[in-house]
Amino acid sequence: SKAAVKVTVTGAAGQIGYALLFRIASGQLLGPDTPVRLSLLEIPPALKAAEGTAMELDDCAFPLLSGIDITDDPKRAFDGVNVALLVGARPRTKGMERGDLLEANGGIFKPQGEAINAGAADDVRVLVVGNPANTNALIAQSHAPDVPAERFTAMTRLDHNRALSQLAAKLDVSVTDIAKMTIWGNHSATQYPDLYHAEVGGQTAAAAVNDDEWLKDTFIPTVAKRGAAIIEARGASSAASAANAAIDHVHDWVNGTDWTSMAVVSDGSYGVPEGLISSFPVRCADGEWEIIQGLEIDDFSRERIDASVQELSEERDAVRGLGLI
């Protein structure tokens, strides 16, 4: 039988972790033929809760789950890791300055990058979910010089899925009728969900919608601010949908897709400065992603992409200034 793949989840005792681990263990991340070994990384006060989640995982008797390890030591958690899902992060609390937020996350993602560098399997693939995800991914990546930079990615798939769902509702079509959706830039309020390259029934989504005001004043802000709307409605932040997007991201990276959105290390494509971890349209094959090239970018899209990328540059400058990269 196939060897088990080691999947490490940080922040395993959190909300997203709780929605994520059961799906990984049931085979939805890597497919029904791939056994997984779970490694749960938590901070000491959350270890007991992680143990409780592990007990529930045991109680599911998942045929594909070959073992669970729980630790607060990144070295141990990432030793031999094949897929790393970095979910735990320091959330912004009231009154917290951006510099403090970045610094607190540097304290988390620097040692994790070092531990991945020291011990990960040759085929390691990393997805950063914890916010600010793009810049946390940049911090981890910059401390893992022996791992190819393209193995570090950040999640914009939830934004992508939200955009699909909003557009499908507007046009009264199925999400499967929509192709070539793209999220550009930072996983933040500046992100740009692009309807000028998305396609529905043989025309661009922008043409199908044929309502500029809706596109600019409703669609884009609705997608970008959906997280806050969920908190408002649910009294807690989105967790199951974030976990679902993490599953989609890794599944499509490993198994291939013609078109999706991933935040990946820029090679300078579309004017995004080299080295920034920014969201692009990508295709995946043989476990590798590639930025889809040759799209024409109109003035409106240019402006939106540039604004989000500018924010990423500023975040990079800030973590550089703090000596975190």
Annotated binding site: 11-17, 92, 98, 105, 112, 129-131, 162
Q: Give the annotated binding-site residues for NAD(+).
A: 11-17, 105, 112, 129-131
Site for ligand NDP contains 25 (CB under 6 A): no
Segment near ligand NDP (CB under 6 A), from 95-103, 233-241, 291-299, 302-310?
A: 233-241
Q: Which is nearer to ligand NDP, 10 or 266 (CB)?
A: 10
**Of 57-65, 86-94, 207-215, 259-267: span binding ligand NDP (CB under 6 A):** 86-94
Q: Are 127 and 84 in contact (CB under 8 A)?
A: yes
Our answer to whether residue 187 is catalytic in this structure is yes
Determine the residue with CB nearest ligand NDP: 14
> How far is 159 from 242, CA to CA, in rounded Å?
9
Q: What angle do CA 270, 319, 16 make, to 5 degrees?
A: 80
Q: Smallest distance, Å, CB 9 to ligand NDP?
A: 9
With binding defined as CB under 6 A, does residue 237 bind ligand NDP? yes
Whole-Å CA distances, 147 to 119, 143, 179: 10, 9, 32
Q: Is 104 in the site for ligand NDP (CB under 6 A)?
A: no
Stretch that binds ligand NDP, among 81-89, 211-219, 258-266, 296-304 (CB under 6 A): 81-89
Residues between 283 and 322 with contacts to ligand NDP, criterion CB under 6 A: none
Under the binding rule (CB under 6 A), the answer on residue 102 touching ligand NDP is no
Q: Per the annotation, where are the binding residues for substrate?
A: 92, 98, 131, 162
- 188 touches 310 (CB < 8 A): no
Residues 165-204 within binding reach of ligand NDP (CB under 6 A): none
Compute the CA torsion angle 30, 236, 102, 194 (nearest 10 deg): 60
Binding to ligand NDP by residue 15, rule CB under 6 A? yes
- The yes or no reply on residue 24 touching ligand NDP (CB under 6 A) is no
Question: Does residue number 91 form part of the binding site for ligand NDP (CB under 6 A)?
Answer: yes
Q: Shortest Cβ distance from residue 129 to ligand NDP (Å)?
A: 5
Q: How far is the CB of 237 from ligand NDP (least distance, A)?
A: 4
Instruction: Tell me, by CB under 6 A, how many residues bind ligand NDP.
Output: 26
Distance of CA 232 to the CA centre of its chain: 22
Helices then strands (H, E): number in the chain? Answer: 12, 14
Nearer to ligand NDP, 197 or 249 (CB): 249
Contacts with ligand NDP in 106-135 (CB under 6 A)?
108, 129-131
Please say whether the beta carbons of 193 and 224 come within 8 A: yes
For residue 291 the two structure tokens come to: 């930025």
Q: Which of 143, 160, 187, 249 is catalytic?
A: 187
Q: Which residue number, 89 or 200, has a Cβ lying nearer to ligand NDP?
A: 89
- Scored b (16 or more CB within 10 A) or e, 281-304 reads bbebeeeebebbeebebeeebeeb
- Asked whether 274 and 266 are in contact (CB, 8 A), the reply is yes
Instruction: Answer yes or no whether residue 11 interacts with ligand NDP by CB under 6 A.
Output: yes
Q: What 3-state DSSP class applies to 323?
A: coil
Asked if 42 is part of the footprint of ligand NDP (rule: CB under 6 A), the reply reads yes
Nearest to 157 by CA among 22, 68, 282: 282
* Residue 52 sits in the site that holds ligand NDP (CB under 6 A): no
Distant-in-sequence, close-in-space partners of 295: CB < 8 Å, separation ≥ 6: 197, 270, 281
Bridge partners (DSSP) of residue 67 are 37
Q: Is the Cβ–Cβ distance between 102 and 132 less than 8 Å?
A: yes
Active site residues: 187
Residues that bind ligand NDP (CB under 6 A): 10-11, 13-17, 41-43, 46, 87-91, 108, 129-131, 158, 227, 237-239, 242
